[in-house]
A and B are shown apart, each in its own frame.
Chain A
Amino acid sequence: MDRRDSLKSIVFGSIGVGVLLEGCVSGVDSKTVARSMKKFNYGRTQSEKDYDRLLFSKKCFSDNEIKLITNICNIILPPNEYGSIVDAEVPELIEFIAKDIPSYESPIKKGLSFLNKVFKEKYSKNFIDCSDIQKKEYFDLIAYPNPEFLNSDQDDMVKWFTIMRNLTMTGYYTSKVGINELGYKGNVPNVWDGVPKDVLDQYNLEYEQEWINKCIDQSKRNDIAVWDENGNLIS
């Protein structure tokens, strides 16, 4: 039986929030928005979909800013045999998250423009057109927070670099290529039967027999549970 058969729908038709938003799309063409909506399929409610659509239809960073972000993230985490920040769609994440968590937008933008200002003054060029050596020379000044201070007391560009590093790292390591590189083994159906023996040995640990006796015998996991009257499992 379809469980929805029992649903008592008194009214039909839903509120057209989605339709309303389509009318005020700015910055991004509707085909691109539709493609983004189709790409991310993660069990959203209607209002969550409407919110995502709204974010996809707005643009936070200019094309030049995105180019600059891509360049910076590539220095923070250079490509290797597993992949790159571009494969990991780190710039796309930064674009999205700056709209989703608006407190990011202004510090990131200010940092980008300050970066260009510094390089214009010093080398009469935009950051992106300078050499790697020149770029790293500046990053060396801002990439290491003073360990004596809280983040809130760091220099603005140090704080900005921390944001860029954090978003680069989280963007990379939550992507397909980054998860593969890290070697995370879960999120697949499996049967947990304890810490591998070689790992226990490495830490001089062992399971106590008394404890293990209480634990599931995984060969019997599909046998339907039956208890005696005192709650002792007999299957």
Chain B
Amino acid sequence: MPEANTPVFRRAVIALNGGPIDSYMVRLALEVTRHTHAELIAVHVVELDWTQPLDADVATEEAQRVLDAAEGIAEVMHGKLESVLIQARDVGAAIVDEAAARDADLLILGLPYRTRFGGDFAIGRAVPYAFQNAPCAVWVVREPMGEESK
């Protein structure tokens, strides 16, 4: 018997990658949670390779700007948004771990429309990782195809 009620989220984590889909995701999340007053957490992960220590001072102004832009959208839409900047070796694991640590019941990820050489769709590593490991619901927002891809 399918549930008749719309699912209600208490806490959602939005993973931002600094791309054009970010503002769309933030607006969508704010709109979805407008009436439920769910807590929104924007997470941006700066990926570090193994040549640098995990606490290296590499989080640039640009990384800060990704989260500041999200906060700006929330302010304009009169919503509340907490922002978290993370340094990690693997983006997918960091996002899922942060969502789990915060007991989120929704994880929203953005996915750029990219194709590999040969034409196959490239889904990257973070989304499959989240699908396999996130304890909560996962939404993936794929950006629209470019004109040349259509």
Q: Are A and B subunits of one complex? A: no
Chain B interface (Cβ within 8 Å of chain A)? none
Chain A interface (Cβ within 8 Å of chain B)? none
